[in-house]
Amino acid sequence: MKIKLFDSELKVMEILWRDGDTSAKRIAAILKEQVGWSKTTTYTVIKKCLDKGALGRSDPNFVCSPLITREQAQESETTELINKMYGGAADQLVASILERKNLPPEVIQKLKRLVESLE
């Protein structure tokens, strides 16, 4: 499932991924506190997520439920980045990250174990 989520939609989804099913009213309260959004703004973004199939709605109380996982959203974003910036070549993205040479030794070891597990 490929769903493109914009930064504003990710803010809504982050709440659902963290807290599970949450009422739209509660989401609006959280986002008012976190980023200063009005209730109208939050409900507009929730509607966009509903239209895209990223979340579902149940009544009473307009309870929102995530229909995609954080991992599915990450995979979609990563695929888009690889296709857009690296012509679909994942190895070029990895090389770009590794060439920065400011990775801590523990991260390098973790990456080595990951590569070894793929072989």
Would 37 be classed as within a structural domain? yes
The count of structural domains within the chain is 1
Would 84 be classed as within a structural domain? no
In this prediction the pTM is 0.79
| CATH number for the domain harbouring residue 66 | 1.10.10.10
Would 28 be classed as within a structural domain? yes
Interatomic CA distance for residues 45 and 109, integer angstroms: 40
Would 79 be classed as within a structural domain? no
pLDDT digits (tens, 9 = 90+) for 15-73: 999 999 999 999 999 999 999 999 999 999 999 999 999 999 999 999 999 999 999 99
Domain that holds residue 25: 7-70
Would 109 be classed as within a structural domain? no
